[in-house]
């Protein structure tokens, strides 16, 4: 499992590079965020939550049964809008409010 | 590449800005106007165990319960090998810590009377996705606290068994920091990556514990001659297969039982302590009744949707797995497995041997959170409570003067680090040696592939192999500061591996299945109702056996 960064979408703000707990993301030569060693990623999603343009997607590695789906997240005040793009391209959106507690 | 030396001075130095470290900084500032410096390997906004979030606080004293009840629970789960004094003082601070977190902005679920809604007897339900940003915000608005992000501490500065500070290196720039302090708190967290993980390929870092917690605090303590305790009580988590996501939310949240492939509930057969739950799963697999599952099929669609949300707040990849496969937990049971072993004092009792005041055996060096031993089942709120205790003790201690180290000692460290940076090539890569270490620990020191079991003979082989890898690691080459950090992380894991092996060999019984499964001594023995401690003296690791310390005692070194 790891992340991929969309070069077209990335605006090079560097916020993801600051928060990564493994210091794995750097601003590369084209002023885009890059992850050179995606296999070191923990999957904590900190970077994607910081990204202002949803250029970062999470995926499950094939070695742990990943089917090619992608997970995006957009922060809007206390809300996190999670979008799952399924392998066939269909989307499912789940919104979680941080003012609302987990039920379990 | 040459390193620049930079000296810094502070009153209270905190190594590691995770849960315990951040709370200790805040507690210290409430009781003193002295300066505090947090040295953090990543960035405190999302560093440590709670980067992705957490959806319950597992340590809280419910109305009608007493701190002593918590001590009794933790003691039973650890089969007696706990420090009563540490557990009780921690338990007394749990509810204050939880209230403090709520005041700082954490969402906690309430019941109809305005109290916290409990999950069982000890857990409160929260939305903890943003728990680290909440702590970081409090830290950044506090003028007494400075934070050095992306600076990696690697060796204590000690003089005559008194702490003077720490050596650290910059991750982004070639700087060797020499940081002096009047008191120091170690809150670096525990260690993973010692053993081969569940999925050693591309997803090798998809593990229970943050792969960036590499045991720096343990290794620095071991090498400085601090006494350590109970490193043989490893922690193994029961997790959802592949995603290594938590199972507690399924077991406690929707009441899912552990079943084998024949559909039989097996958890009652083996017991429900943490280690027994995993032991049962391993035995069922060995008897050909695997794989094992949490029985979730049949839960309602609403429960399933609430689970999707709960996992997005702590382990979002599990939700991705359910949704992308089109097979949610209401349709399909969730397969479970044990993880590789970790060393983590917030769950089991491994770590620094501390006084009741949380001072280590090195004067002026305190420990809190996963790195501090004797006090298992801390979880988040216990780490906070312990951070507060350690901060108050550090304030009482506060050495008046700074002891500065000889310039020659600093040059020696500088040259040693530069030798890695200036080496153009190396026979092995850091990753290759890490793989060798994990394979040796897996096979000979009780990893997943040996069903967590080991013998005196196999431990002997493990120790020889780790010693050899340690020797090879002296000749590694670092391209930049980040790869130098990887070398230091490997070396600290190797140091810790040797101590873990020595501890596993010293306890001649099997007190905890899975955590320390000694095939030479498969039974639990009354004789071993004591602590196994260790201390490095003149390069040699000596084992010290100590009698149990009960609550009500005030333990001093």
pLDDT at A103 over 80: no
The verdict on residue A104 lying in a domain is: no
| Interchain CB distance below 8 Å, A102 and B109 | yes
For residue A1, pLDDT over 70 is answered with no
- So what's the pLDDT on residue B551? 95
Q: Determine the distance in angstroms separating the CA of A28 from the nearest CA of chain B, rounded to an integer.
A: 14
CATH number for the domain spanning B23: value is 3.50.50.60
Spell out which residues of chain B touch residue A101, defining contact as CB-CB under 8 Å. 107-109, 117, 125-127
**Looking at B338, B363, B386, which one is the last position of a domain?**
B338
Give the per-residue pLDDT at B253: 85
pTM score, whole prediction: 0.97
User: Are residues B31 and B132 both part of a single domain?
Assistant: yes
Phi, psi of B428 (to 5 degrees): -125, 155
Residues of chain B under the 70 pLDDT cut:
none
pLDDT at B273: 84
- Whether residue B270 is contained in a domain is answered as yes
Residues 6+ apart with CB under 8 A from B30: none
Quick one: pLDDT at residue A102?
79
Residue A80 pLDDT more than 80?
yes
- State residue A85 phi and psi, 5-degree precision: -95, 115
Asked if the Cβ–Cβ distance from B210 to A45 is below 8 Å, we say: no
Q: Which of A3, A43, A48, A68 to mutate to test the interface with B (most CBs of B within 10 A)?
A: A43
Mean pLDDT score across all residues of chain A: 95
In a domain, B301, yes or no: yes
Write down the pLDDT at residue B55: 86
- pLDDT value of residue B119: 83
| pLDDT single digits (tens) B130-187 | 999 999 999 999 999 999 999 999 999 999 999 999 999 999 999 999 999 999 999 9
Is B87 in the same domain as B124?
Answer: yes
Helices (H), B326-406: 379-397
Please tell me which residue of chain A has the smallest CA distance to B255.
A104
State the total domains in chain A.
1
Give the contacts of B42 (CB within 8 A, at least 6 positions apart): A19, A20, A21, A22, A23, B149, B150, B212
Contact A61 B45 (CB under 8 A): no
B353 and B334 inside one domain? no
Distance from CA of B473 to the nearest CA of A (A): 20
| CATH number, domain containing residue A8 | 3.30.70.20
Q: Is B206 on the interface with A (CB under 8 A)?
A: yes
Percent of chain A, pLDDT > 70?
A: 99
CATH assignment at residue B249? 3.90.700.10
Domain count, chain B: 2
Do B136 and B58 fall into the same domain? yes
A102: closest CA among B314, B461, B316, B384? B314
The CA distance from B63 to the nearest CA of chain A, in Å, is 19
Q: Does B207 touch chain A (CB under 8 A)?
A: yes
Domain holding B145, by residue range, is: 4-189+344-397
Distance from CA of residue B116 to its chain's centroid? 27
Whether chain B has a CB inside 8 Å of the CB on A61: the answer is yes
Same-domain check for residues B334 and B384 = no
Choose the final residue of a domain: B360, B376, B397. Answer: B397
B319 in contact with A at a CB cutoff of 8 Å?
yes
Q: Give the Cα separation of B450 and B196 in Å (integer).
A: 11
CB contact under 8 A, A23 and B306: no
Task: Give the tens place of pLDDT for each residue, A4-55.
Answer: 999 999 999 999 999 999 999 999 988 999 999 999 999 999 999 999 999 9
pLDDT value at A98 more than 90: no
Q: How many of the other CB atoms lie within 10 Å of CB of A61?
A: 22
Same domain? For B84 and B167 the reply is yes
Q: For strands B540-546 and B531-537, give the pairing.
A: antiparallel
Domain that holds residue A67: 2-97
Long-range CB contacts for residues B465-474, cutoff 8 Å, separation at least 24: B465/B436, B465/B437, B465/B440, B466/B437, B466/B440, B466/B441, B466/B494, B466/B497, B466/B498, B466/B501, B467/B498, B469/B433, B469/B436, B469/B437, B469/B440, B469/B494, B470/B494, B470/B495, B470/B498, B472/B427, B472/B428, B472/B433, B473/B430, B473/B433
Residue A59 lies in a domain: yes
Shared domain for B176 and B259, answered yes or no, is no
The answer to whether residue A103 is domain-embedded is no
Q: With an 8 Å Cβ cutoff, are B48 and A65 in contact?
A: no
| C-beta of residue B140 within 8 angstroms of C-beta of residue B134 | no
Which token pair is B100? 């403090």
| Beta-bridge partner residues of B342 | B235
**Facing A21 at nearest CB: one of B46, B317, B324:** B46
Whether A25 is covered by a domain: the verdict is yes
Classify residue B251: in a domain, yes or no: yes
| Domain assignment of residue A28, yes or no | yes
Q: Is residue A87 part of a domain?
A: yes
The Cα–Cα gap between A104 and B218 comes to: 34
Task: Residue B128: list chain A partners with CB under 8 A.
Answer: 102
């Amino acid at each position: 499992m790891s992340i991929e960064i969309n070069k077209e979408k990335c605006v090079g703000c560097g916020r993801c590079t600051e928060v990564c707990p493994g210091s794995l993301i750097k601003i590369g030569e084209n002023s885009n965020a890059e992850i050179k060693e995606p296999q070191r990623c923990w999957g904590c999603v900190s970077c994607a939550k910081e990204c202002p343009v949803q250029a970062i997607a999470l995926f499950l590695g094939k070695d742990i049964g990943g089917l090619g789906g992608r997970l995006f997240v957009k922060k809007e005040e206390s809300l996190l809008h999670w979008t799952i793009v399924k392998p066939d391209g269909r989307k499912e959106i789940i919104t979680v409010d941080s003012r609302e507690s987990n039920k379990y | 590449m040459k390193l620049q030396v930079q000296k810094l001075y502070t009153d209270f130095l905190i190594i590691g800005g995770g849960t315990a470290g951040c709370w200790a900084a805040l507690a210290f500032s409430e009781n003193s106007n002295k300066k505090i410096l947090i040295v953090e390997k990543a960035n405190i906004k999302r560093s440590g165990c709670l980067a992705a979030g957490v959806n319950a606080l597992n340590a809280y004293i419910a109305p009608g319960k007493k701190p002593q009840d918590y001590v009794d629970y933790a003691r039973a789960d650890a089969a007696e090998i706990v420090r009563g004094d540490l557990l009780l003082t921690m338990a007394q601070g749990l509810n204050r810590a939880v209230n403090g977190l709520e005041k700082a902005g954490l969402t906690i679920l309430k019941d109809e009377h305005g109290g916290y809604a409990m999950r069982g007897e000890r857990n409160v339900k929260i939305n903890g996705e943003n728990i680290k940003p909440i702590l970081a915000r409090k830290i950044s608005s506090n003028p007494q606290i400075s934070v050095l992000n992306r600076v990696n501490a690697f060796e204590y500065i000690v003089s005559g068994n008194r702490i003077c500070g720490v050596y650290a290196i910059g991750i982004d720039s070639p700087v060797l920091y020499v940081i002096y302090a009047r008191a120091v708190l170690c809150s670096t967290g525990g260690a993973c990556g010692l053993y081969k993980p569940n999925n050693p390929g591309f997803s090798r870092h998809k593990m229970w514990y943050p792969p960036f917690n590499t045991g720096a605090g343990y290794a620095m303590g071991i090498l400085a001659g601090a006494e350590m305790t109970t490193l043989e009580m490893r922690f193994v988590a029961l997790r959802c297969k592949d995603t290594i996501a938590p199972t507690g939310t399924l077991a406690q949240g929707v009441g899912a039982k552990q079943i084998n492939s024949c559909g039989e509930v097996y958890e009652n057969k083996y017991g429900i302590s943490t280690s027994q739950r995993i032991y049962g799963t391993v035995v069922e697999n060995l008897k050909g009744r695997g794989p094992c599952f949490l029985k979730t099929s049949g839960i309602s669609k609403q429960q399933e949707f609430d689970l999707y949300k709960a996992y997005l707040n702590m382990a979002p990849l599990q939700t991705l797995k359910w949704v992308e496969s089109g097979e949610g937990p209401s349709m399909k049971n969730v397969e479970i497995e044990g993880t590789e072993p970790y060393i983590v004092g917030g769950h089991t009792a491994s770590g620094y041997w501390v006084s009741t005041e949380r001072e280590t055996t090195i004067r002026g060096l305190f420990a809190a959170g996963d790195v501090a031993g004797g006090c298992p089942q801390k979880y988040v709120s216990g780490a906070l409570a312990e951070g507060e205790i350690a901060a108050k003790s550090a304030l009482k201690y506060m050495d008046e003067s700074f002891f500065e180290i000889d310039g020659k000692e600093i040059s020696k460290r500088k040259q040693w680090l530069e030798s890695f940076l200036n080496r153009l090539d190396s026979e092995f890569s850091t990753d290759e040696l890490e793989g060798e270490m994990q394979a040796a620990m897996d096979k000979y020191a009780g990893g997943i592939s040996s069903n967590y079991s080991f013998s005196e003979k196999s431990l002997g082989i493990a120790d020889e192999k780790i010693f050899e890898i340690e020797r090879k690691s002296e000749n590694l080459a670092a391209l930049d500061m980040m790869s130098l950090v990887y070398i230091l992380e490997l070396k600290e894991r190797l140091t810790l591996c040797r101590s873990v092996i020595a501890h596993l060999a010293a306890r001649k019984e099997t007190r905890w299945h899975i955590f320390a499964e000694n095939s030479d001594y498969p039974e639990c023995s009354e004789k071993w109702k004591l602590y196994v401690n260790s201390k490095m003296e003149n390069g040699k690791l000596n084992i010290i056996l100590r009698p149990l310390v009960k609550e009500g005692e005030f333990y001093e070194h």
